[in-house]
Amino acid sequence: MGTGTVLLLIFIGVIIFGVGLYNRLVAGRNQYKNAFAQIDVQLTRRHDLIPNLVETAKAYMAHEKDTLEGVIAARNAAVTGLNNAKVDPTNAGAMKELGSAEQGLSGALGRLFALAESYPDLKANENMMQLSEELTSTENKVAFSRQAFNDAVMMYNNMIEQFPSNMLAGWFQFKSAELLEIEDEDVRSVPNVSF
Would you list the DSSP string of 128-193? HHHHHHHHHHHHHHHHHHHHHHHHHHHHHHHHHHSTTHHHHHHHTTPPPP-------HHHHSPP--
Q: What is the pLDDT of residue 158?
A: 95
Q: What is the pLDDT of residue 187?
A: 45
Calculate the CA 165 to chain-centre distance.
27
- Per-residue pLDDT of 108-158, as tens digits, reads 998 888 888 888 887 778 888 888 889 989 989 999 999 999 999 999 999
Q: Domains (ranges, CATH) in the chain?
A: 32-188 (1.20.1440.20)
- Per-residue pLDDT of 183-194, as tens digits, reads 654 544 555 655
Q: In one letter, which amino acid is 78?
A: A
- Per-residue pLDDT of 58-73, as tens digits, reads 877 777 888 889 999 9
Among residues of the chain, what percentage have pLDDT more than 70?
93
Rounded to the nearest 10 degrees, the angle between the axes of helix 92-116 and helix 3-60 is 30
Q: Say how many residues make up the chain.
A: 195
Q: What is the pLDDT of residue 6?
A: 92
- Residues 35-57, mean pLDDT to the nearest whole number: 91
More confident residue, 36 or 132: 36
Q: What is the pLDDT of residue 194?
A: 56
Q: Predicted confidence band at 162 (pLDDT cuts at 50, 70, 90)?
A: very high
Mean pLDDT of all residues belonging to the chain: 88
| pLDDT above 90: residue 160 | yes
